[in-house]
């Protein structure tokens, strides 16, 4: 059974058709890429999947359940985690706290247990802290766990955002331009990093990216978007050879 | 004289409790309220009416007052918490004034502008200090649990908080209710200390004073809020002759702090003794002659 099915999705802002009849089916365990020129509607698709926007038309199913008209937090609790194009960390809090916050669903204690530290509070908190430290070890941020998140170098902030997303125990991870602002070497390292968490956490990943090498070496399948519609879909090799793609995207910006 | 000192301590305690509530709401959730005096009024009148008109025991009044304030906050929050920043603030301002006027006009129950008198003097220093310590400890633990962390997530980055599965609307309601309950508790203690309450005691300047105290102490520091409350309650007592200029001085203090140190006295940090120890070590253990000389001056 596919993990995510989007059928005939439309999102209009006034007269602008940001998403125009977009459909995709994600099989469990694969890595998908979503590419296209600026303004093609990629981030709008992410925002619609995660409930920030309500679609004008169309259906989105996660594991057979519709996510339409659900609040963002409900969709997150259904198993979709995401990162943001412009990083959105809890900037004034520590690295460890950023990840611990995302584990709030693992904390089963009530408000009076929290205020008095009685009951399940201590054991529960210790378990969460342990889980988060392990998570930080996997992403390689364990040493800076007490640093303020907003003061981390850019690349580490991206990793922390991914770690925070993983802490919610997702089955589907959406990454919005994870390699933005990274050089060749850093983005190569990021490919290995994402492959690593993909295996470790039994994830399906959908990512938006402009770095062609990055997408081609990481993704099992790629959807190419232009003006809110899919113009091509297939494996990296198929997409590379598709004339419509070359004309709309790769051809014009080959040197970029 | 000792009675006077006792009175100041009780006043500090009452203000600390009310400010702790505003600190949770404004310092940790970044929701600005100019209506918390309204919740104080609800707590004060509810508890005072219980003890004077129905002969209820003081502990019962102390529990019921905050609960009623919290219930009112839940109702108001359901209506207004979806509004963005400034708009929410304006509704709290309107709420505070409405509550005051409501108590003013409901003369048969509240005594109207003449106030409600004959309240039994039950708030002793022992009770005030004890409840303040419990209130502080409760708030401290609350902020270091999932609840407090979720509120800070909302403060830092609301969209990301939703994206990691936090029901931001629900947790804002929690924050608002707790702040109202704290204000209600402060009001109940106030009523049973002064033995007399009137609507004018819970006016807009009182609400502003609570929020200003939190801003001065540091938006995001519980101990900073306590520190600022003590300063702002005790200083006017010392400079009694200048008491009329209190609001003027508050205003000036806020302007100076926003310009010089926008994060307030404590910023996001909590008060701890560690910096004092490190300072002590730096001065006395290094045996640096210039430093000892400077210290001797």
Chain A residues 145-164 within an 8 A CB cutoff of chain B:
164
Q: pLDDT tens digits, residue range B7-50? A: 999 999 999 999 999 999 999 999 999 999 999 999 999 999 99
Which of A99, A114, A121, A131 is the best substitution to test chain B (most B C-beta atoms within 10 A)? A114
| Burial zone of A46 (CB within 10 Å; 0-12 exposed, 13-18 middle, 19+ buried) | buried
Give the CATH number of the domain where residue B149 resides.
1.10.3470
| Structure tokens, B148 | 């407090």
Range of the domain at B244: 2-296
Q: What pLDDT does A252 receive? A: 53
H, E, C per residue of A102-115: CCHHHCCCCHHHHH
Q: What pLDDT does A254 receive? A: 46
Q: Where are the domains of chain A?
A: 1-79+170-256, 90-168
- Residue B294: pLDDT band by 50, 70, 90 thresholds? very low
Q: What pLDDT does A5 receive? A: 96
Q: pLDDT tens digits, residue range A46-77? A: 999 999 999 999 999 999 999 999 999 999 99
Chain B residues 217-246 within an 8 A CB cutoff of chain A:
220
Instruction: Nearest by CB to B165, from A89, A105, A117: name it.
Output: A105
Q: pLDDT tens digits, residue range B123-180? A: 999 999 999 999 999 999 999 999 999 999 999 999 999 999 999 999 999 999 999 9
How much is the mean pLDDT over chain B?
A: 89
Q: What is the DSSP string of B23-62?
A: IIIIITT----S-HHHHHHHHHHHHHHHHHHS---HHHHH
User: CA B6, CA B104: separation in Å to the nearest integer?
Assistant: 31
Report which secondary-structure segment, H or E, holds A135: helix A121-139
3-state secondary structure at position A224: strand
- H-helix segments, A28-120: 42-49, 72-78, 95-101, 111-116
Helices and strands (H, E) in chain A, number of each type: 10, 10
The verdict on A92 touching B (C-beta cutoff 8 Å) is: yes
3-state secondary structure at position A147: coil
- Residue B291: pLDDT band by 50, 70, 90 thresholds? very low
Q: pLDDT tens digits, residue range A100-141? A: 999 999 999 999 999 998 888 999 999 999 999 999 999 999
Q: Do B145 and A52 touch (CB under 8 A)?
A: no
Which of A96, A100, A101 is the best substitution to test chain B (most B C-beta atoms within 10 A)? A101
Q: What pLDDT does B198 receive? A: 96
Contact list in B for residue A76 (CB cut-off 8 A) is: 162-165
Distances (CA, A) of B192 to A214, B108, B184: 69, 20, 13
| Burial zone of A237 (CB within 10 Å; 0-12 exposed, 13-18 middle, 19+ buried) | exposed
| Cβ-Cβ contacts under 8 Å for B236 (sequence gap 6 or more) | B242, B243, B246, B249
Q: Which of B121, B106, B103 is nearest to B52 (CA)?
A: B121
Contact list in A for residue B148 (CB cut-off 8 A) is: 114
As for the ipTM of the complex, it is: 0.90
Report which secondary-structure segment, H or E, holds B170: helix B168-194
| Nearest CA distance, A86 vs chain B (angstrom) | 11
pLDDT at B269 over 90: no
Does the domain formed by A1-79+170-256 have CATH 3.40.50.300?
yes
The verdict on B160 touching A (C-beta cutoff 8 Å) is: yes
Q: pLDDT tens digits, residue range A12-47? A: 999 899 999 999 999 999 999 999 888 889 999 999
How much is the mean pLDDT over chain A?
A: 91
pLDDT at B262 over 90: no
A36 compared with B273, residue with greater pLDDT: A36
Domain total for chain B?
1
* A30, A195 contact by CB (below 8 A): no
Handedness of CA B64, B68, B74, B80 (dihedral sign): negative
pLDDT at B285 over 90: no
User: CA A155, CA A144: separation in Å to the nearest integer?
Assistant: 13
């Amino acid at each position: 059974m596919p993990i995510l099915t989007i059928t005939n999705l439309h999102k209009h802002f006034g007269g602008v058709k940001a998403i125009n009849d977009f459909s995709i089916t994600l099989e469990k365990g694969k890595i998908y890429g979503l590419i296209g020129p600026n303004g093609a509607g990629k981030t709008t698709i992410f925002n619609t999947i995660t409930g920030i926007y309500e679609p004008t038309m169309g259906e989105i199913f996660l594991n057979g359940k519709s996510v339409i008209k659900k609040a963002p937090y409900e969709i997150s609790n259904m198993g979709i985690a995401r990162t943001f194009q412009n990083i959105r960390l809890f900037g004034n809090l520590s690295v460890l706290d950023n990840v611990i916050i995302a584990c709030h669903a693992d904390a089963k204690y009530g408000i009076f247990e929290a205020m008095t530290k009685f009951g399940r509070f201590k054991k529960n908190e210790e378990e969460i802290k342990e889980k988060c430290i392990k998570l930080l070890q996997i992403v390689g941020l364990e040493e800076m766990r007490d640093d303020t998140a907003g003061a981390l170098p850019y690349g580490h902030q991206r990793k922390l955002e991914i770690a925070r997303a993983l802490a919610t125990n997702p089955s589907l991870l959406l990454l919005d331009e994870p390699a933005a602002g990274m050089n060749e070497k850093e983005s190569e390292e990021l490919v290995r990093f994402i492959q690593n968490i993909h295996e470790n956490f039994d994830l399906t990943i959908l990512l938006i990216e402009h770095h062609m090498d990055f997408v081609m070496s990481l993704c099992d399948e790629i959807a190419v978007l232009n003006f809110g519609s899919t113009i091509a879909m297939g494996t990296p090799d198929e997409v590379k050879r598709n004339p419509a793609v070359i004309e709309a995207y790769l051809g014009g910006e080959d040197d970029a | 004289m000792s009675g006077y000192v006792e009175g100041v301590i009780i006043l500090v305690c009452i203000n600390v409790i009310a400010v702790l509530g505003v600190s949770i709401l404004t310092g940790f959730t970044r929701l600005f309220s100019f209506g918390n005096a309204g919740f104080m009024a609800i707590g004060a009148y509810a508890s005072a009416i219980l003890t004077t008109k129905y002969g209820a025991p003081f502990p019962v009044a102390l529990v019921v007052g905050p609960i009623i304030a919290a219930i009112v906050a839940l109702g108001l929050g359901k209506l207004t918490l979806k509004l963005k920043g400034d708009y929410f603030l304006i509704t709290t301002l309107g709420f505070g004034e409405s509550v005051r006027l409501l108590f003013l006009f409901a003369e048969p129950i509240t005594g109207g502008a003449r106030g409600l008198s004959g309240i039994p003097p039950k708030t002793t220093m022992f009770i005030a200090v004890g409840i303040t310590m419990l209130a502080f400890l409760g708030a401290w633990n609350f902020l270091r649990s999932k609840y407090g962390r979720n509120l800070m997530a909302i403060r830092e980055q609301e969209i990301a908080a939703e994206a990691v599965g936090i029901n931001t609307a629900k947790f804002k309601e929690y924050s608002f209710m707790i702040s109202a309950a704290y204000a209600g508790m402060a009001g109940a203690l106030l009523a049973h200390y002064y033995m007399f309450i009137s609507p004018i005691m819970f006016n807009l300047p009182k609400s502003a004073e609570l929020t200003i105290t939190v801003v001065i102490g540091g938006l995001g520091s519980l101990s900073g809020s306590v520190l600022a409350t003590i300063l702002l309650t005790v200083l006017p007592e010392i400079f009694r002759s200048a008491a009329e200029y209190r609001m003027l001085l508050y205003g000036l203090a806020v302007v100076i702090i926003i310009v010089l140190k926008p994060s307030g006295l404590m910023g996001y940090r909590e008060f701890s003794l560690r910096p004092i120890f490190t300072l002590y070590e730096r001065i006395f253990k290094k045996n640096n002659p210039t430093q000892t000389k400077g210290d001797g001056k």
